[in-house]
């Protein structure tokens, strides 16, 4: 699993890693945005939540992730991107997946908040994601500190957290991650 502030390059690295390792890339943000784009009832329900940069309710996210993660684990493995987002989701993950489907390593892609903010504002000008407004960016960055840092500490205590400096070209960052995965 991959942890990072929004804007750190988490999804980019997750996609590259999944391709390199030959496993499924499971991005909860992408799954949720696809749901919105499809216009489904669930999509209509979660669209305003995504736009605010808030977390989608666990009872909606967990079953979707659980289904896909189970399938991916059965098909050789996964890179999990965007889940868990807080301690409750982490607990749900542990409860639903005994043994083999449990994550083997947690990578923290470390990029300071100011650099993330700068990258997200630059991306907003290009991609126009409607949660990349200055106010929503600050809110999402704050949620990383309040909700995700405790999860990261949990993985650190478990001894499976790997910290990688994410302030470099994307190719360099991928190489750094792969090097750290090769030498625990
Ligand atoms: P970022 O990391 O830049 O915020 P993501 O694509 O990971 O981008 O997530 C985009 C949005 O999708 C989040 O702000 C949140 O609204 C929703 N989301 C993603 N993952 C989860 C999750 N595990 N639980 C609840 N909401 C989520």
CATH of the domain at 91: 3.40.50.300
Ligand 1 centroid–CA 7 distance in Å is: 12
Supply the mean pLDDT for the chain.
Answer: 93
Number of domains present in the structure of the chain:
1
Domain range for 32: 2-182
Q: Which of 159, 141, 175, 150 is nearest to 105 (CA)?
A: 159
Question: In whole angstroms, what is the distance from residue 170 CA to residue 43 CA?
Answer: 31
Q: Please, which pLDDT band fits residue 86 given cuts at 50, 70 and 90?
A: very high
| Whether residue 66 has pLDDT greater than 60 | yes
Quick one: pLDDT at residue 95? 87
Quick one: pLDDT at residue 97? 77
Question: What Cα–Cα distance (Å) separates residue 172 from each residue in 16, 19, 177?
Answer: 12, 16, 9
Ligand 1 centroid–CA 33 distance in Å is: 9
| Whether residue 184 has pLDDT greater than 60 | no
Q: Please, which pLDDT band fits residue 100 given cuts at 50, 70 and 90?
A: low
Q: Is 32 in the pocket of ligand 1 (CB under 6 A)?
A: yes
Identify which of 15, 32, 87, 129 to mutate to test ligand 1's pocket (most ligand atoms within 8 A of the CB): 32
Q: Which atom of ligand 1 is nearest to the CA of 83?
A: 23
Residue nearest to atom 9 of ligand 1 (CA): 29
Q: Which of 61, 27, 36, 38 is nearest to 131 (CA)?
A: 36
Q: Is 49 in the pocket of ligand 1 (CB under 6 A)?
A: yes
Q: Which atom of ligand 1 is nearest to the CA of 46?
A: 16
Q: Please, which pLDDT band fits residue 58 given cuts at 50, 70 and 90?
A: very high
More confident residue, 182 or 10: 10
- Average pLDDT for residues 91-110, to the nearest whole number? 85
Residue nearest to atom 1 of ligand 1 (CA): 6
């Amino acid at each position: 699993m991959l942890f990072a502030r929004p804007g750190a390059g988490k999804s980019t690295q997750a996609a590259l890693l999944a391709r390199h390792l030959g496993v499924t890339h499971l991005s909860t943000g992408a799954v949720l945005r696809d749901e919105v784009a499809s216009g489904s009832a669930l999509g209509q329900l979660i669209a305003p939540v995504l736009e605010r940069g808030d977390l989608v309710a666990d009872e909606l996210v967990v079953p979707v992730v659980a289904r896909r993660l189970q399938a991916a684990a059965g098909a050789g493995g996964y890179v999990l991107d965007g889940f868990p987002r807080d301690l409750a989701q982490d607990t749900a993950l542990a409860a639903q997946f005994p043994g083999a489907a449990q994550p083997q390593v947690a990578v923290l892609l470390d990029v300071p908040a100011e650099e993330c903010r700068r990258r997200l504002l630059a991306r907003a000008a290009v991609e126009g994601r409607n949660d990349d407004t200055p106010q929503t960016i600050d809110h999402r960055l704050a949620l990383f500190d309040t909700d995700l840092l405790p999860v990261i500490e949990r993985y650190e205590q478990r001894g499976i957290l790997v910290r990688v400096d994410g302030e470099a070209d994307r190719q360099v960052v991928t190489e750094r991650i792969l090097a750290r995965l090769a030498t625990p």
